[in-house]
């Protein structure tokens, strides 16, 4: 093992059993942590939506259990190049080049839901601008996140003029060419709701105001700074 630990694995009737010996002396190693696909999803979404965008996000973790969002947006027509593939500390890693794209609505495959459960809020933002309907089903887990994310996103999108149908474990978003905006969106103190509507605000006809941004620090403290670096138009509405 990478740190020199002794781990034994045996196949059982129910899968695999792993045995770890206690009180081992481990070897110090340098570890490179790949970039988080969930955090990257907001930059991917913004680039896909904003005309003229062409950005590269480096060293993204490409583990199959983490890239459901990438697979779905590609089904929607996203122009994403996967470059510089490599393996770092046992994880597949790559650079993603993302360009503005015209998207179409899709039915999200059920087998991808688990690998993108945190990305559904920002996916629903992309769905708002896609041609046709995007159907997201088997997503009941979203109701027990930092907020009821099905309800949070549906309410915010409806405020912005987007047609949304939703229930206990599904959401269907009908895309429109232009999102109205001009609303104060309640984030319900949920970082992913806040970041998703910040993304949508970049293409709305009128500015979108966010009820708070402090929740963002729970997962991505540098989000606002990094988002501005790629050209995002953000301002503090409390001073206006």
Q: What are the tens digits of pLDDT across the range 186-229? A: 999 999 999 999 999 999 999 999 999 999 999 999 999 999 99
Beta bridge partners of 133: 174
Give the pLDDT of residue 92: 97
Q: What are the tens digits of pLDDT across the range 31-86? A: 889 999 999 999 999 999 999 999 999 999 999 999 999 999 999 999 999 999 99
The arithmetic mean of pLDDT across residues 135-164, rounded, is 97
Q: Which fold has domain 37-219?
A: UDP-n-acetylglucosamine1-carboxyvinyl-transferase; Chain (3.65.10)
The arithmetic mean of pLDDT across residues 220-239, rounded, is 88
Distance CA 13, CA 155 (A): 47
% of residues, the chain, pLDDT over 90: 86
Distance CA 70, CA 72 (A): 5
Q: Is the pLDDT of residue 238 over 70?
A: no
Buried b / exposed e over 66-89, threshold 16 CB at 10 Å, is bbbbbbbbebbebbbeeeeeeeee
pTM: 0.90
User: By the 8 A CB rule, do 76 and 133 touch?
Assistant: no
Give the pLDDT of residue 239: 43
Length of the chain: 240
Give the pLDDT of residue 240: 42
Question: What are the residue numbers of the active site?
Answer: 118
């Amino acid at each position: 093992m990478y740190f020199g630990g002794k781990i034994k694995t045996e196949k059982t009737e129910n899968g695999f059993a792993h045995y770890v010996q206690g009180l081992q002396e481990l070897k110090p190693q340098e570890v490179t942590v790949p970039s988080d696909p969930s955090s990257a999803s907001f930059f991917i979404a913004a680039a896909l939506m904003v005309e003229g965008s062409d950005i590269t996000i480096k060293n993204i973790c490409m583990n199959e259990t983490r890239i459901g969002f990438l697979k779905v947006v590609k089904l929607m027509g996203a122009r994403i190049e996967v470059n510089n593939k490599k393996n770092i500390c046992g994880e597949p890693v790559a650079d993603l080049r993302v360009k503005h794209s015209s998207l179409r609505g899709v039915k999200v495959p059920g087998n991808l839901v688990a690998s993108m459960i945190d990305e559904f809020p920002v996916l629903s933002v992309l769905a708002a601008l896609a041609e046709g309907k995007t159907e997201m089903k088997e997503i009941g887990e979203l109701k027990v996140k930092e907020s009821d994310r099905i309800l949070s996103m549906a309410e915010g999108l409806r405020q912005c003029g987007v047609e949304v149908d939703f229930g206990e474990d599904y959401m269907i978003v009908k895309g429109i060419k232009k999102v109205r905006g001009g609303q104060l969106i309640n984030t319900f103190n949920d970082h992913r709701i806040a970041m998703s509507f910040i993304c949508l605000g970049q293409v709305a006809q009128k500015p979108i105001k966010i009820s708070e941004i402090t929740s963002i620090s729970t997962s991505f403290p540098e989000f606002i700074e990094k988002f501005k670096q790629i050209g995002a138009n953000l301002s503090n509405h409390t001073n206006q």
